[in-house]
Amino acid sequence: MLEISDTDFDEVVRNNRFVVVDFWAPWCPPCRALAPVMEELSKEYEGRVQMVKINVDQHRVKAKEYGIMSIPTLLFFREGKLVDRQVGAVPKSLLREKLEQLIGK
């Protein structure tokens, strides 16, 4: 999974049809639990959904802009527009369902 910054966030979201952004921090146990699930899904959906992560400790601008109050938080973008969000570590099956909804519409 690609690590992005506040600087390239907009470009990544704008230049990919479907994007999932994982707001995380290394000290966050639920973030660490979600990381391998996101890596697996990133491989499963390679070429269809761009999955990226952004460290909220190092890159606070976008976290503030999108009102990230708790981590992990996933933001789902379709054609540059925020269409869904998921707060907290959730099962892979739920994330797969959300991804199918994202690319299916």
* Residues acting as catalytic residues: 28, 31
The amino acid at residue 34 is: L
> What is the separation of C-alpha 34 from the centre of its chain, rounded to a whole number of angstroms?
11
* Partners of residue 76 on adjacent β-strands: 20, 84
- What residue spans of the chain are helical by DSSP H? 6-14, 29-44, 60-65, 92-104
- On whether the CB atoms of residues 35 and 72 are closer than 8 A, the answer is no
